Amino acid sequence: MANHKSAIKRIRQSEKRRAYNRTYRTRTRTFVKRARIAQEGADVKVAVEATRAAVIELDKAASKGVIHPRNAARRKSRLMKKLAELQA
């Protein structure tokens, strides 16, 4: 356990940030999972909508610093590549 006042405060801040980041990370993962499931299905329109929603969530997470921007770009790229294969 921390002994200094500043270290105790940093622990409180870290816990708050962890909870904040976890909500965005979980939400992002859920949307990406939905997009992947929709892409495995037969309906292209549903897959496009799910992928669009996942891309928006990835952008939000990256803009808030929850995930690295390149991580978001890589995930979006993979989703879009899979969608393009589905549409072809």
Q: How much is the pLDDT for 33?
A: 97
Number of structural domains, the chain? 1
Note the pLDDT tens digit of each residue in 36-74. Answer: 999 998 899 999 999 999 999 999 999 999 999 999 999
Q: What is the CATH number of the domain that holds 74?
A: 1.20.58.110
Q: How much is the pLDDT for 3?
A: 87
Neighbours of 20 (CB within 10 A): 12
Domain that holds residue 45: 5-87
Tokens of 7: 């270290």
Note the pLDDT tens digit of each residue in 25-39. Answer: 999 999 999 999 999
Cα(26)–Cα(48) distance, rounded to whole angstroms?
21
pTM: 0.86
pLDDT interval class at 18 (50, 70, 90): very high
